[in-house]
Every structure is written in structure tokens, then in C-alpha cells.
Structure 1
Amino acid sequence: MSSREDFERLRQQEQEQQLKLELELQQNHTISMHSHPLLSEYYTYMTAFVSLAIFVAAMLTILNISIYLATVSQLRRHLNKPLLMPSIVMVSLYPVISVAALVTILVPYSWFICHTVMHAMFMIGGPVFRMLLFRYVESEQNYLKETSGEPVALNTPPCCCCCLCLPMVVPTKTKLCISRYMVWQMPVWQGGIMLVMNILYYRDITLYREVVLFFIPFIIASIVLGAWSLQITVRMITKLHGDYQLRKKMFCLQLIVLLCKLQYLVLYEQLNSLKLGGEYPINHTIYKQTIINILVLVEMVLVSMLAQSAYRVPIQVQIDDSNRK
């Protein structure tokens, strides 16, 4: 009996060891699928797909920069100084995003920093765009004089559904100041959050995955507040300058959030259901990031062309010259 019990015990131990070994192999396979390779390994074992992706990404980035330079040249001819610098900053957001996407393909481990740079373009663009809107009417005080207390509706996207019950509001200095703070909280609030998330991601990836969901509501709330204030401001200035394509310019700014934040994160999770790439180092994560960033690069070229069209007006310098003559 004792020998039989010993045999059963040994057999059970062997099964447990085999199960542990299988679990370890499966865990190592999962880690190798989703881990970033060293830079030396990445370029040593580079595949034809990655090489072609780098070439295409470089060409798209050059194309985006070319569109940007053409747009800046056009703005320098058409705008006076008060509008020139904010307009140049606004059209500069898209080539910066393209460069960040290219760097992600060249250095895969830097993807979270580059994704933060893409996100930061909206945080920077929001306050600059608001400043540009009021420079179209010279200043906030001048806007209050020109409108003479005309009320403004608050039911604009992204809060159009939940703000139907809010009454019309007459703009004042205090209310415009609140609107300014709603926009300026984005770079301060979200900048701090993204800094903490970057530190966690590169120092302790396990802790990052445990706490990242707690940061998301604060980021969403900050974006919604800032976008809501900008939409209200666009509606206010459009009443005075409806021919300046302000909604089109606002749409170009919003596309940064939609394409570089929302789309990026959705695709990053959805592509995990597909089997991409091979074994480490050119694994599933490399293919996934490359596909997403190529898509972002193509979209940024299209958005740059849309922004170039939107910022063609006003043609301020030509009008001023004709008035002087």
C-alpha cells in the first residue's frame, strides 16, 4: 500500500511540475508577443514589412512637412502679425504628430512618449486656438463692445445633449474668464496626468496597468470641458465672422483627439484579437504599432490638407493693402 501511495504521490508531483512548466512557457510566449525588443535586436531581425513601413512613414512625414511649409508660406503672405503666429502654431500641430508617429516606428519602445506628444498637441492647440479666435475680433473687450450683450447658447457639442435645459447666457468679463480657465486647465491638468503615467509606464509597467483606468475619467472630463468651451467660443465669433471657416478650423483641432487618442487606443486593444507578426523580436506588438502609426500618418496628411484649406481665410494683408490704397 505504501509503495502504491508513493507512486501516486510521485505521479501527482510530476503532473504538477508539468503543469507549472506549461504555464511558464505560455507566460513567456505571451511576454515575448507583447514586449518591445531592444533597438539592436529590432534592426538586426528587421523584416520586409517593417522596412517597407519605415520607408512609407518617412515619405508621408516628408509630404506632411511639405504641406506645412506651403501653408506657412501662404499664411505669411495673407496675415498680419497678430494672427500670423497663432495660425502658424495651429498648422504646426499636424507635422509634429507625423514626426512622433515616425519616431514610434523607428524606436518602438518610445511609443508611449510619442503617444503623449500626440496628445499634447491638442492640449497646446486648445489655448492657442482660443487666443486666435479672439484675435479675429481684436480682443475679448472688443467682442463685448461689438455684440452689445447678445446672449449665447450653451447647448453645443460635446455637451449639447446634457445642456438643453441651460438658458442663454450674456457674455461678460467674468464669464469669458471662466471660459478661458476651462480651456487652460487642459495643458495643466492633463499635462500633470500624462507625466505621472509616463513615469509609471517606464518605471513600473505592472503598477501602470493597475492604475491607468483611474486616470481615464479625469482625462475625459478635462477634454470635454475644454472642447465645450472652445465650441461655445467658435459659435460666438462665427456670428461676427462667419466667413472665416471657424467650424472647419475647430474640426481640424478635434480630429487630433479623435484620430490620435480615441482611434489609437481603440485599435491598440482591438488588434490584440488578431495574430500579427511572428516570434520575438519582430512580434505582434511591433506589427500592431506599425499599422496604427502608418494609419495615423496617412490621416495627418489629409488633416494637414484640410487645415491648409481652412486657414486660407481671412486674407488680411491684401484687404489692408487695398484699404490703404
Structure 2
Amino acid sequence: MNSIEEFERIRQQEQEQQFELELQLQRNRTMSKHAHPTLSEYYTHMTAFVSLAIFIAALLTILNICIYLTTVSRLRRHLNKPLMIPSILMVSMYPVISVAALVTILVPYSWFMCHTAMHVMFMMGGPVFRTLLFRYVDSEQNYIKETSGQAVELTTPPCCCCCSCLPLVVPTQTKLCISRYMVWQMPFWQGSIMLVMNVLYYRDINLYHEVMLFFVPFLITSIVMGIWSLQITVRMITKLRGDYQLRKKMFCLQLVVMLCKLQYLFLYEQLNSFNLGGEYPINHTVYKQTIINILILVEMVLVSMMAQSAYRIPVQVQVDESNRN
């Protein structure tokens, strides 16, 4: 009887050990599927797909930089300094994003820092764009003087539904100051959050996955507030400078957060449904990030061309010269 019990106990221990071994193997396969390779492993086991992706990414980045240089050359010829500097800063976002996408393909482990760099472009672009809008009308004080207390609607995207009950607002210096703070909170608020998330990701990735969702509501609230204020400002300035393609310029700015943030996060999860790549080191994660960043590079070329078209207006220097003549 004792021998039978001993045999059952040994068999149960063997089954438990076998189960733990299978569980460990499954965990290792999952980790190898989603782990980032080191730089030496990445370039030692380079595949044809990754090599072709690097070549295409480099070409797209060079193309984006060429479009940017052409746009900057035109802005320097056609704009005076008060409008030229913020306009150049606005069109500079797209080559920087392209370089970040290229670096992600070249160094896969740096993807989160490069993703943060893309996010920073939108955070800093919001305040610069607001500054540019009011420089089109010289200043906030001059806008109030030109409009003579004309009321402004607050029902603009992305808050057009939930704010439909809000009354019309007459712009004053205090209200414009509140609008300014709604935009300027983005680089400070979101910058602090992204800094903390980067530290967590590269120091303790398990803790990062545990607390990541707690930061999402704060990021979304900050982005919505900033975009809402910018949309209201665009509507205000369009009444005075309707021929400056302000909505098109605003759309180019919004595409940064739509393509580099929302699309990035959506595809990052959706592509997990497909079995991409092979075994570690050129695994599923490498293929997934490569596909996403190639797509972003193509889109940034198109957005750069759209921004080049949007910033053709105004042609300030030629108008000033004709007025002097």
C-alpha cells in the first residue's frame, strides 16, 4: 500500500514538473516573440525584408527632408520674420518624425523613445501654431480691437457634441489667456507623463505595463483640451484671415497625433493577431514595428506635401514690396 502511494506521489510530482516545464517553454516562446533584440543580434541576423525596409525608409526620409528644405526656402523668401520663424517650426515637425521612424527601424529597442519624440512634435506644435495664428492678426489685443467684441462659438470638434449647450463667448484678454493655458498645458503636462513612462519602460517594463493604463485618461484629456482650444482659435482667426488656409494647416497638425499616436497604438495591437517574422532575434515585434514605421514614413511624405501647399499663403514679402512701389 505504501509503495502504491509512493508511486502515485512520484508520478504526480513528475506531472507537475512537466507542466511547469511546458509553461516555462511557452513563456519563453512568448518572450522571444515580443522581445527586442540587441543591436549586434539585430544586424547579425539581418533578413532580406529588414534590409529592404531600411533602404526604403532611408529613401523616404531623404525625400521628406528635400520637401522640407524646399518649403523652408520658399518661406524664407516670402515671409517676414514674425511669421517666418513659427511657420518654419511648424513644417519642421514632419522630417523630425521621419527621422524618428527611421531610427526605430535601425534600432528596434529605441522604439518607445522615438514614439515619444513623435508625440513631442505634436505637444510643441500646438503652442507654436497658436502663436502663429495670432501673428496673422498681429496680436491678441489687435484681434480684440478688429473684431469689436464679436461673439465666438465654442461648439467645435472634438467637443462639438458635449458642449452644444454652451453659449456664445465674447473674446476678452482674460478668456484668451484661458485659451492660451489650455494649449500650453500640453507640453508641460504630457511631457511630464511621457518622461515618467520612458523611465518606467526602460527601467522596469513589468511595472510599466501595470501602470500604463492609468496615464491614458490624463493624456487623452490633455490632448482634447489643447485641440479644442486650437479649433476655437482657428475659427476666430478665419473670420479675419479666411484666405490663409488655416483649417488646412490645423488639419496638418492634427494628422501628427492621428497618425503617429492613434494609428500607432491601434496597429501595434491589431498586428498581434498575425504571425509576423520568425524566431528571435528577427521576430514578430521587429516585423511589426518595421511595417508601422514604413507606413508612417509614407504618410509623413504626403503630409509634408500637404503642409507645403497649406503654407504657400500668405505671400507677405511680395505684398509688402508691391505696396511700397
Name the TM tier (shorter chain). over 0.9
What is the CA deviation profile of residues 173-215 of structure 1, one whole-angstrom value per residue up to 9, with x for unaligned ones?
Answer: 0000000000000000000000000000000000000000000
- Distance in 1 separating the partners of 2:130 and 2:202: 34
- Distance in 1 separating the partners of 2:120 and 2:241: 29
For the aligned residue pairs, the C-alpha RMSD in angstroms reads 0.4
Pairwise CA distance, 1:158: 0.5
Look up the equivalent residue of 1:324 and give its one-letter code: R
- Distance in 2 separating the partners of 1:20 and 1:174: 65
Matched, 1:302 2:302: yes
Matched, 1:117 2:117: yes
1:99 corresponds in structure 2 to 99
How many residues are matched? 325
Look up the equivalent residue of 1:137 and give its one-letter code: V
What is the CA deviation profile of residues 256-290 of structure 1, one whole-angstrom value per residue up to 9, with x for unaligned ones?
Answer: 01000000001001111110000000000000000
What is the CA deviation profile of residues 98-133 of structure 1, one whole-angstrom value per residue up to 9, with x for unaligned ones?
Answer: 000000000000000000000000000000000000
Q: What SS does the corresponding residue of 2:92 show, helix, strand or coil?
A: helix
- Distance in 1 separating the partners of 2:16 and 2:204: 31
Q: What SS does the corresponding residue of 1:242 show, helix, strand or coil?
A: coil
Matched, 1:54 2:54: yes
- Distance in 1 separating the partners of 2:279 and 2:319: 62
1:188 corresponds in structure 2 to 188
> Identity, % of aligned pairs?
81
Matched, 1:235 2:239: no
**Structure 2 stretches of 5 or more lacking a match?**
none
**1:41-80 equivalence runs, <5 A:** 41-80=41-80
Look up the equivalent residue of 2:181 and give its one-letter code: Y
Of the structure 1 ranges 73-82 and 166-175, higher mean CA displacement relative to structure 2 is found in 73-82
Pairwise CA distance, 1:10: 1.1
Pairwise CA distance, 1:6: 1.2
Pairwise CA distance, 1:254: 0.2
1:140 corresponds in structure 2 to 140
Look up the equivalent residue of 1:172 and give its one-letter code: T
TM-score after normalising by structure 2: 1.00
1:164 corresponds in structure 2 to 164
Look up the equivalent residue of 2:32 and give its one-letter code: S
Pairwise CA distance, 1:11: 1.0
**1:266-277 equivalence runs, <5 A:** 266-277=266-277
**1:283-294 equivalence runs, <5 A:** 283-294=283-294
Pairwise CA distance, 1:3: 1.2
Look up the equivalent residue of 1:311 and give its one-letter code: Y
- Distance in 1 separating the partners of 2:218 and 2:8: 56
**Structure 1 stretches of 5 or more lacking a match?**
none
- Distance in 1 separating the partners of 2:166 and 2:296: 37
TM-score after normalising by structure 1: 1.00
Pairwise CA distance, 1:32: 0.5
2:321 corresponds in structure 1 to 321
What is the CA deviation profile of residues 225-256 of structure 1, one whole-angstrom value per residue up to 9, with x for unaligned ones?
Answer: 00000000000000001000000000000000
Matched, 1:258 2:261: no
Look up the equivalent residue of 2:139 and give its one-letter code: S
**1:239-250 equivalence runs, <5 A:** 239-250=239-250
1:204 corresponds in structure 2 to 204
- Distance in 2 separating the partners of 1:23 and 1:65: 49
Pairwise CA distance, 1:319: 0.5
Pairwise CA distance, 1:2: 1.3
- Distance in 1 separating the partners of 2:277 and 2:283: 5
2:155 corresponds in structure 1 to 155
- Distance in 2 separating the partners of 1:12 and 1:139: 80
Pairwise CA distance, 1:4: 1.3
- Distance in 2 separating the partners of 1:100 and 1:198: 15
- Distance in 1 separating the partners of 2:195 and 2:151: 39
Q: What SS does the corresponding residue of 2:243 show, helix, strand or coil?
A: helix
- Distance in 2 separating the partners of 1:16 and 1:273: 31
1:37 corresponds in structure 2 to 37
- Distance in 1 separating the partners of 2:103 and 2:188: 25
Pairwise CA distance, 1:77: 1.2
What is the CA deviation profile of residues 271-318 of structure 1, one whole-angstrom value per residue up to 9, with x for unaligned ones?
Answer: 111100000000000000000000000000000000000000001111
